[in-house]
Structure 1
Amino acid sequence: MNYYFDYHSTPHDDNLSLALGQVMVNALRWWIKTSTIDDMNISQRSERERT
């Protein structure tokens, strides 16, 4: 069991985890930004239809 933890705690794996975390955060930010823009476009369209 110690071998598993020794092998998986290398600096390379830490850098890989950090890079993957940054990719996930950026993807989440992009998804939130695009979904809120879509929501704004939908609400603007519905307001135009009311007038």
Structure 2
Amino acid sequence: MVSEVRTELEGNTQKWAEIMRVNMRAYETQARNQALTFIDTSGFPKDDDTEMGGA
């Protein structure tokens, strides 16, 4: 997941992209420490893809 997000953010200088980079660095740190991470998917669009919380 991290590599996919990095690919999507590559070259993007918008504010939301920088925020996402910070979030992904925190996620990676937590993952290395084997901490459980909750990803809130409640704001994701509703579709047939249930992999990341869609309905």
On whether the aligned pair clears a TM of 0.5, the verdict is: no
TM-score normalised over the length of structure 1: 0.43
Give the greater-gyration-radius structure (CA): 1
Q: Which has the higher helix share?
A: 1
TM-score normalised over the length of structure 2: 0.40
1 or 2 for the larger relative contact order (CA 8 Å, sep ≥6)?
2
